[in-house]
Chain A
């Protein structure tokens, strides 16, 4: 029995089309995949409940008012500014405060475009990031991104991002 079998060849599986099949799948995933990864500016909103809300008296000296009017013009303490100037002003404002109880107040008109608002947010975030980076380099000798949690916390305590959009009562 054994000797008879030995002569028979095992037929080979034709795998020529595997490549085509997997190409099909590949193309399917290429088409359906959304490569637009979620990128954006992360923000935290103030909680709504009354107990957690704190009324704070902040002296007018420690408030930087950023305003965008209905025609997307940007004002910083009622002076018209560009985004670069805004970044500079926020930076020097925050750096010159001795207290951490400063506030960057943001005011928009109902007709302000979202794009203008976003660019403003971008500039403010850039200002804070640059400040934190400077402090990290000065104190620890490496950029903010290379800091450990403890150092990061210390820096964030010194330069908290205090942006108020709730409308400040004078």
Chain B
């Protein structure tokens, strides 16, 4: 016992925090590289279907988003039950898709233009009539690469 009593009360050494900023900067850079800013604000509400065979679309360049779903306002309230189409940052009619795609094309470089892909983000409850109309419009606009956006099915618990 006496061994302990004789000890002088010493102060706890402070933790060296010098490398903490470096650590956080590393994480920060990771997120800066991984992230890509959300370019378009969705004006429609959509929930993409789930699939098992989906692949990751690696090419981010030359990607045009076509969103189909119920229109919502800035606060996220559903405005009507009729599905609308959004290309870029505005709502369009089926007849205007070609022009909207051309406009998106104009912003791209030649390399991006050559591998233009349309990512179709369609609400799962949309009627196929509209989707087929959009697909025909895309064909007419010369966009042949499309991608049905979807989420991965969560593995079933056995």
**Which residue numbers of A lie inside 8 Å of B, CB to CB?**
15-16, 18-19, 22-23, 25-26, 29-30, 32-34, 37-48, 68, 108-115, 117-119, 121-122, 125-126, 129, 165
Contact = CB atoms under 8 A, between A and B. Distances in A.
11 contacts: A15-B21, A23-B24, A29-B31, A33-B35, A38-B149, A39-B56, A39-B150, A39-B152, A47-B144, A48-B142, A118-B150
Contact of B51 (A38, A41, A108, A112): A41
Contact of B63 (A15, A38, A119): A38
Nearest to B54: A39
Contacts, number: 150
A40 B55 contact: yes
Given A38-B57, A114-B128, A119 B49 contact: yes
Nearest to B20: A19
Contacts of B67: none
B53 A129 contact: yes
B157 interface: no
Contacts of A47: 139, 144
Contacts of A39: 54-57, 149-152
Contacts of B119: 38, 40
Interface in B124-158: 124-129, 131-132, 135, 138-140, 142-152
A44 B28 CA distance: 38
Interface string B32-44: 1011111000000
Contacts of B151: 39
Given A19-B24, A33-B34, A43-B146, 17 more contacts: A15-B21, A26-B27, A33-B36, A39-B54, A40-B119, A41-B150, A42-B57, A44-B145, A48-B139, A109-B128, A110-B128, A111-B128, A113-B128, A114-B123, A114-B125, A115-B49, A165-B135
A40 B147 CA distance: 6
A44 B34 CA distance: 28
Interface in B48-66: 48-49, 51-57, 60, 63
